Every structure is written in C-alpha cells, then in structure tokens.
Structure 1
Amino acid sequence: MSEEFISMAYPFAINQGQGQLAQERDYDAHVKQLILQVLFTAPGERINRPEFGCGVKRLVFSPGGEVAATLAQTTIFQALDRWLNNVIKVKEVTVQAVEASLEIRIGYMVIARGTNQYLNLTVAG
C-alpha cells in the first residue's frame, strides 16, 4: 500500500500530548487491532450490531479442555471469516487449552497486500 493510512487506534484512547484520538498509521497493526476487536467483543455487547463478535473470553470457562479448544477454534474461525472477510483470509486457527487459559494462533493473509501474518495470544480466565 503506497497511500498514507490513518485509522483510530484500538483499544480506544486519547493521545494525552495532543488531546486527540490515538491513531494507527501501520496497516498491518490496524488489521491486528480489527482481529482483536472481533475476538474480544462478546455477541450482544454492541447495541447496533448485537451479533458482532466472538466472545473468546467466555470460551476460556467452557468445560472440557480439548472440547473447549475445538469449540474456540471453530468459533474464532467463523467469526473472523464473517466479520473480516473483506480484510483478511483466515488460513488457520489453532487453539490449545492450557489450565485456565487458551493459547490461540491465527494465520491469515492480508488481502490488500497479499502478505501472510500470524497472531499469537493467550487468553486467561
């Protein structure tokens, strides 16, 4: 992408030095922020779009380690494919239940650039 890119940063914040909304100028970082928004927004949390989100935090408390990991894997893949299909192509989602947390690895292609990226995160209960 050769054009300049500016987006509101996530999580929402005010730049204290400038008194303005915090901005994101890196497109790849912006895409990761979009993924995090989908993952950490619980369905029903947004008034105007109640079906938006994945609610990955609630999946941490699902019983049955391997079953919870498989449920999380499917839920994450479907949510990202539904809400970000014009931004990314999800290649893989792997989830492991480790004690009271989920270790998540998401492989995706940024459509605008054609580059493959990975996002690794641990979600604790």
Structure 2
Amino acid sequence: MDIAYPFRIDQRGRIAAATENEHILQMIEQLLFTSPGERVNRPDFGSNLQQLIFAPNSDELAIATEFMVKGTLEQWLGDIIEIEALEITNEESSLQVTIQYVVLRTQQRQIGQFSR
C-alpha cells in the first residue's frame, strides 16, 4: 500500500492510499518542492526549485535549472522512473514544471504537471 500525499484520513477512517501512478506523481512533487535542509534525516533531499519563483528569467538560468532538477530526480527516483523530457517555465510569481517520464516497472509513459 502506498500512502497518499499529503497525509490524510479517508472516508472510511483509515489512512488514505494512492495508486502506483498517483504515488509516483506525489513523490515527484515532494522532491521538486522540498528545499534541501527541510528534512532533518535527509538534509540533501529536495531541490532549490522554489527559490526560482522570484529569480530573474534568462535562458541560462532555465537551462541550469532543468539540468539541476533532472539530476535531482535521477538521484532520488532513478530506480523508479526514467526522465525523457523536462520543461520548467517561470512566469511572474508562478512556476510550472512539466515532466515526461517512463515508469520502469511497467514501461508506461507518463506526463506530470506541477505548479506553485
């Protein structure tokens, strides 16, 4: 059983569960929007993606950010998914992340879209 994120109790009064695909999307979201140092037992878990919301836009920053995020995803979720494409856009105070990936266990191609 995969526990749903965010943690909650379902209508039966039990811990809410997630399907495998939902769980993978939730793990990606946690990794993208957790800042390194936020988790006491895993200080290097996460990415610095949220710091970019108010950063000035430039092509160089976008390329460096995509490289950093792809490396972070491969480090923490590389045994579960394979990243095929990654696009990060920063518009005013909104950050949009689109990831195309393959679930290694099932070889299913998925697309996840995340925003903050």
TM-score by length of 2: 0.88
Which sections of structure 1, spanning at least 5 residues, go unmatched?
1-5
| Cα shift at 1:75 | 2.0
Does residue 1:30 correspond to 2:23, yes or no? Answer: yes
Task: Kindly provide the amino acid, as one letter, of the partner of residue 74 in structure 1.
Answer: F
Partner of 1:90: 83
Quote the Cα distance in structure 2 between the aligned partners of 1:122 and 1:31: 16
Task: Give percent identity, aligned residues only.
Answer: 33
Partner of 1:111: 104
Give the stretch that moved more between structures: 48-57 or 107-116: 48-57
Comparing both chains, which one has the higher relative contact order based on Cα–Cα distances under 8 Å and sequence gaps of 6 or more? 1
Does the residue aligned with 2:39 lie in a helix, a strand or coil?
coil
Partner of 1:99: 92
Quote the Cα distance in structure 2 between the aligned partners of 1:12 and 1:75: 28
Answer yes or no: is the 8 Å Cα contact 1:77–1:93 preserved in 2.
Answer: yes
Does residue 1:18 correspond to 2:12, yes or no? Answer: yes
Answer yes or no: is the 8 Å Cα contact 2:29–2:114 preserved in 1.
Answer: no
Answer yes or no: is the 8 Å Cα contact 1:88–1:111 preserved in 2.
Answer: yes
Quote the Cα distance in structure 1 between the aligned partners of 2:61 and 2:55: 5
Judged with a 3 Å threshold, the aligned counterparts in structure 2 of structure 1 residues 23 and 30 are, in CA distance, closer, same or farther, namely same
CA RMSD between the two structures: 1.6
| Cα shift at 1:65 | 4.0
| Cα shift at 1:60 | 1.2
Quote the Cα distance in structure 2 between the aligned partners of 1:69 and 1:102: 11
Partner of 2:48: 55
Does the residue aligned with 2:87 lie in a helix, a strand or coil?
strand
Answer yes or no: is the 8 Å Cα contact 1:14–1:20 preserved in 2.
Answer: yes
Answer yes or no: is the 8 Å Cα contact 1:38–1:80 preserved in 2.
Answer: yes
Quote the Cα distance in structure 2 between the aligned partners of 1:92 and 1:70: 13
